[in-house]
Amino acid sequence: MRTDKFFSEKEWNDIVEYAFSADSPQPEFSEDYVKHRENMLSSVRPKHRSIRLSVVLAVVAAACIPVTAFAANRIMMLRAEKSAAYQQKVIIEPMESEGVSEKFEGYRQLRLNYIPEGLVMRYDGKYHDPNSEKAMTPLFYRFNEGKGISEAVNFSSSSVTFELDGKSAVFVDRIDGYDRLWVLFENTPYAAEIYVNDVPMDEVKKLAEGLELVPSDVETAGIWQDINELVDEGSVVSYSNDVDMSKVKVLSAGDSFKCYSNENLDIHIENISLQKNFDGITTNSIGNDDFDVDFGKYLDENGELTAERVTVKRGDGVNTLDEVISREKVDRSVIVMTLTCTNNGNERGEICFYPKMFRMVDGKAIDLTEPDNTTFISYGDKKLGGDNVHFSFYTSGEHEKNSALIEAGESVTVRLAFIADDDSLDTLYINFGEMLYDSLAISAENSGEIVKVTE
């Protein structure tokens, strides 16, 4: 049983991935999820885990446009204070000043004039180094000048405040999770929050120095809303992880099912196979065939797939830290699922693939990497399989990201590759339906059909 006021971290990651998929256009994402990061209170961990984007990212590629000068006296102050053993609080607060004679008018966009070395922008607006853990994600906010901003950052060891030309900045160093860089643009109601990982401090400062506001005809920033104002103490929703199997049909190789978003699209499971290496895996999770991951680091001296499975007891990140309770070497397998997708309609169809793999034990649906609220499982620096979704997507036809595009009356082959521990193979299931619920069990029941990985 889990009890949460808002979506879990898994659910927000699902929402973000869905929001950037071909099935969810950007305007829908902006309208529904831009309202601040309703659940960004909880820490982002471990370091390689996805950050939940929920504000508009406005990066301007045009040349610099001069910005109107604002009042000489500052109207806001940015600072950080230690609020607990492992927590820093970032505060943007109004200053008492009678010298403010101009009111801020108009809209602004955020421009990045410096990108840390090695980082390139991905399809989802995040920046990463393909050869390391180095990464960053810029977020852009407009806030109420009368209230400012107050944000608690957990798992934080220290903070550094520094002044820049026309800006002030706070860098929060985190023990676990992405570090945070906050930049306040003086005498404006705008602030940037940059998540950074493995970015040296000298580059962090260059990044902050290079941030710039340029005029815009429309609002491009997410509107900041204090998380404390959003919490309704009476709104507590409980979910069970028990699956009512009378509502679910279990499928296997040879079976077919309908695409949940389009009844004209049929998906036939041709084959589900297991292998101990990455032979034949040539694409990444959105179908790019220039997948440059060095698979050799995932194989042992015998050329087989192994990893160190680390089970961690969660800390609250405020007064306690995460604690490793076990380490064990485990054998793993690549799961290859081959599908034939057919369009029986009269118009071109599209299937967005974002399946979720989970365990089923004694009628209960269990997340592979977050089995309960007190523990989580990681694989050291091993990236593959950390989020229970496919790491490779291939289709014989046309595609956009992880969506297969199928002409009326035609069929295409789709091949997905997953990764899992060998000791859980006989309990694995995959849900191809909507994953817009906090509970894996409710998602399975809502989909009505789940696929068993092994017979």
Structure confidence at residue 304 (pLDDT): 87
Per-residue buried b or exposed e for 196-207, using 16+ beta carbons within 10 Å of the residue's own CB: bbebeeebbbbb
Q: Which of 58-67, 245-254, 378-387 has the lowest mean pLDDT?
A: 58-67
- CB-based contact 344:265 (threshold 8 Å): yes
Count of helix runs (H) and strand runs (E) in the chain: 5, 30
Start-to-end CA distance of the chain, whole Å, equals 29
Which residues lie closer than 8 Å to 137 by C-beta, 6 or more apart? 51, 53, 125, 126, 127, 178, 194, 195
Q: What is the pLDDT of residue 76?
A: 84
Please name the residues in contact with 229: beta carbons below 8 A apart, sequence gap of 6 or more.
none
Q: Quick check: 370 and 440 in contact, CB under 8 A?
A: no
Q: Does a cis peptide bond (omega within 30 degrees of 0) precede residue 215?
A: no
- 103 pLDDT more than 90: no
- Domain range summary for the chain, segments of one domain joined by +: 2-230, 240-452
Of 62-71, 289-298, 408-417, 434-443, which range is least confident? 62-71
**pLDDT of 254 higher than 90:** yes
The residue with greater pLDDT, 268 or 295, is 268
Give the model confidence (pLDDT) of 124-133 as tens digits: 778 989 888 8
Q: Is residue 269 classed as helix, strand or coil in its secondary structure? A: strand
pTM higher than 0.75 for the full model? no
pLDDT score of 61 more than 50 = no
Contact by Cβ (8 Å): 340, 321: no
The two tokens of residue 223 are: 């509107």
What is the pLDDT, as a whole number, of residue 3?
A: 33
CA distance 201 to 455: 52
What pLDDT was estimated at residue 22? 40
Backbone angles phi, psi at 52, to 5 degrees: -85, 110
As given in the structure block, the two tokens for residue 291 are 């997948």
Compute the average pLDDT of residues 59-67. 31
Q: Is 110 helix (H, G, I), strand (E, B) or coil?
A: strand
Distance CA 29, CA 376 (A): 28
Residue 178's identity, in one-letter code, is: Y
| pLDDT at res. 289 | 81
What phi, psi does 397 have (nearest 5°)? Answer: -110, -160
Whether 85 contacts 169, CB under 8 Å:
no
Q: Any idea of the CA torsion for 251, 253, 259, 265, to the nearest 10 degrees?
A: -140
